[in-house]
Amino acid sequence: MDLRAALAAHRLVAIVRGSDPEASLRTVLTLAEEGVELIEVSLSGADALSVVERAHAALGGDRPLGAGTVLTADDARAAHRAGARWAVTPAVGDGVGAAHALGMPVLAGVMTPSEILTARTLGATALKIFPAAQAGGPAYLRALRGPFPHELFVPVGGVDEAAAEAYLAAGATAVGVGSPLVGDAADGGSLTALRERARAFLTAARKATP
């Protein structure tokens, strides 16, 4: 998949991490029904590889799933076998190069300029500023865009609806959103509430699209 184009077009990455595999699967499918195009299933969730595999079977190739919290080369290979077509890491580690070698675009977690350079060398497609709130928020993103004007930045961590709009206005290509969007849906909570939150975040993303 062309992750760069998808991030620029859709502006929103939903992060699903749940304690209940069945609820996590329902969450992925509900987000897809609401029009969320980029969905990442974190490998730190319960039975996450099964969730990826079953969601991939249900959605098919029209909605390529991402696997998150890819820490190691083994994580990357397992996610690829399960059907994930792009990878997300929380940091610059072995998972970045391994996923890239498998042909998976990588959204690599970075915080510093040195990590940005390392991630780019390893083949990262885009850069996840994580944890974004602790890194300094939209002001830090603006500072990074000075020396790295052509990189695709995706702030993740503490991004609620208002923060999403602020990051996108500050030049983020997209935002990654976990609990402010998913809430408790992946633990068995309300799918109706999930749909409402998804619509709100989609509206924020569309408002920021040029």
- CB contact at 8 A, 88 and 68: yes
Q: What does the alpha-carbon distance between residue 153 and residue 148 come to, in Å, rounded to a whole number? A: 10
Strand partners, 113: none
Q: Are 19 and 46 in contact (CB under 8 A)?
A: yes
Q: Which of 40, 151, 161, 165 is catalytic?
A: 40
pLDDT confidence of residue 209: 66
Q: Does the domain made of 3-208 have the CATH classification 2.40.50.100?
A: no
Task: Provide the 3-class DSSP secondary structure of residue 66.
Answer: strand
Q: Contact, 199 vs 37, CB < 8 A?
A: no
**DSSP for 182-209, written as a single string:** HTTGGGT--HHHHHHHHHHHHHHHHHH-
Is there a cis peptide before residue 90, judged by omega within 30 degrees of 0?
Answer: no
What is residue 104's three-state secondary structure?
coil
**What's 173's DSSP letter?**
S
CB 64 within 8 Å of CB 54:
no
Q: How far apart are CA 31 and CA 162, in angstroms?
A: 20
Q: Active-site residue among 128, 161, 196, 207?
A: 128
Structural domain boundaries of the chain? Answer: 3-208
Q: Catalytic: 207?
A: no
DSSP state of 154: E
40 is catalytic: yes
pLDDT of 23 reads 98
- Regions of the chain short of the pLDDT cut 50: none
Q: State phi, psi for 145 to the nearest 5 degrees.
A: -70, -15
Note the pLDDT of residue 104. 98
pLDDT tens, 43-68? 999 999 999 999 999 998 788 999 99
